[in-house]
Amino acid sequence: MPRPGRWVRGFALASVIANAVLIRTGAAVRLSSSGLGCPDWPRCTKTSVVAAHSAGQTALNTAIEFGNRLLTFPLAMIAVLAFIACLRYRPGGHRQRDLVWLAAALPAGVIAQAVAGGIVVLTRLNPAMVAVHFLLSSAILAAAVTLHARAGEEPGRARPLVRADLRILAGLLAVATGLMLAAGTVVTGTGPLAGTIIDSGGHRTTVPRFGFPLQDVTQLHADIGWFTGALAVALAIGLRFTGAPASALRTSQIVLTGLCVQAAIGYAQYFSHLPAGLVWVHVATSVVLWIFVLRLYLSTRKGGSVDNAEARTGHGYAVTPAG
């Protein structure tokens, strides 16, 4: 069967990279207290569309915030091109609707993300809206990762490549990782790095925060992390001893390594009183972890018909191997 064109997969990969970069720069905006470097929206200031001096904001704050806004344009362009590529691709004369819907989520997500970012600015860095903004970006990234993975498959109904219980475990791992990301936004919105506002006199005031005890939400975040780690270990063992595809085994090892790195950075930042640079590294690595957790789940299934090699090895769990 024909495979999706190189353009579809290329634009999907570009979207994954662009969204990952945007999330990381967004974290830099918050952790450098640059969220109000451009205090208006959609303009930078009430009198300027582009970066301009604003009372109480440094030139660096303005540059960081405005630079993050500018990244929306290439991100939107890539999303639109991915959508057009999926619309134009018609293997066997038929459009792949699953790819089209996934691709449509990318430009729609960029619009929603821009609106959410504007609300963040207009509400003076409301922590709940900041959390929504981050999680929306993570959801768009998930759509891009899924599009990239499925664009490399043959058309046809997907079939499992591992046992049903391991697929469920992989799905639970993805859900737990998503919850861990959400809990991380609550921790940041509760702690000292929630953001600051600088008035015209140069006085800093902390933006409103979540009213939770920092130690409690940090512990919840850590507990979810440990639960996620346990799921990853169980899944990696299950994949190892059930003849899972090599790609799933490799990805499970990357996920386990990533979780260990995340845990080490998380505890280091907590006991060193949350230095902004280390917190940014924690966020940046969480983006990579999220991508590979999604890839791990997607590697447990495959589109198209079962080939002879999979039938012989028993990796195509949708069929009964020849006896």
Q: Does the model's pTM come out above 0.85?
A: yes
What integer is the mean pLDDT of 270-279? 91
Residue 323 — pLDDT band, cuts 50, 70, 90? very low
Beta partners for 196?
206
What integer is the mean pLDDT of 115-142? 93
At residue 184, the pLDDT reads: 95
What integer is the mean pLDDT of 126-136? 94
Residue 52 region by backbone torsions, left for phi larger than 0, else alpha for psi between -120 and 50, else beta:
beta
Cβ(99)–Cβ(136) under 8 Å? no
| CA–CA distance, 282 with 269 (Å, rounded to integer) | 8
pLDDT at 316 over 60: no
**Stronger pLDDT, 285 or 51, i.e. the higher one:** 285
* Cis peptide preceding 208, ω within 30 of 0: no
| CA–CA distance, 174 with 106 (Å, rounded to integer) | 20
Where do we find the tokens 């409301």?
A: 126
The terminus-to-terminus CA distance of the chain in angstroms comes to 27
At residue 303, the pLDDT reads: 67
What integer is the mean pLDDT of 96-106? 91
| CA–CA distance, 203 with 199 (Å, rounded to integer) | 6
pLDDT at 60 over 90: no
Q: Tell me, what DSSP letter sits at residue 33?
A: T
SS3 label, residue 314: coil
Beta partners for 159?
302
| CA–CA distance, 186 with 289 (Å, rounded to integer) | 19
**Stronger pLDDT, 108 or 125, i.e. the higher one:** 108
At residue 231, the pLDDT reads: 97
pLDDT at 108 over 50: yes
Residue 194 — pLDDT band, cuts 50, 70, 90? low
| CA–CA distance, 79 with 278 (Å, rounded to integer) | 31
Residue 51 — pLDDT band, cuts 50, 70, 90? confident
Residue 124 — pLDDT band, cuts 50, 70, 90? confident
Residue 310 — pLDDT band, cuts 50, 70, 90? very low
**Stronger pLDDT, 296 or 58, i.e. the higher one:** 296
At residue 318, the pLDDT reads: 42
Cβ(50)–Cβ(44) under 8 Å? yes
**Stronger pLDDT, 33 or 244, i.e. the higher one:** 244
Q: Which long-range contacts (CB under 8 A, 24 or more apart) does 218-223 make?
A: 218/187, 218/191, 218/270, 220/183, 220/186, 221/180, 221/183, 221/184, 221/186, 221/187, 221/266, 222/266
Cβ(61)–Cβ(45) under 8 Å? no
At residue 73, the pLDDT reads: 94
Nearest CA to 195 among 40, 57, 69?
A: 57
Two tokens at 98? 């699953």
pLDDT at 308 over 70: no
pLDDT tens digit string along 211-250?
A: 899 999 999 999 999 999 999 999 999 999 998 999 999 9
At residue 203, the pLDDT reads: 65
| CA–CA distance, 69 with 310 (Å, rounded to integer) | 47
| CA–CA distance, 10 with 17 (Å, rounded to integer) | 11
Cβ(32)–Cβ(65) under 8 Å? no
Two tokens at 1? 């069967």
At residue 202, the pLDDT reads: 60
At residue 209, the pLDDT reads: 83
Mean pLDDT estimate for the chain: 86
What integer is the mean pLDDT of 176-205? 81
Cα angle at 120 between 117 and 126, to 5 degrees? 150
pLDDT at 118 over 60: yes
Nearest CA to 90 among 8, 172, 186?
A: 8
Lowest mean pLDDT among 134-143, 166-175, 299-308: 299-308
At residue 306, the pLDDT reads: 41
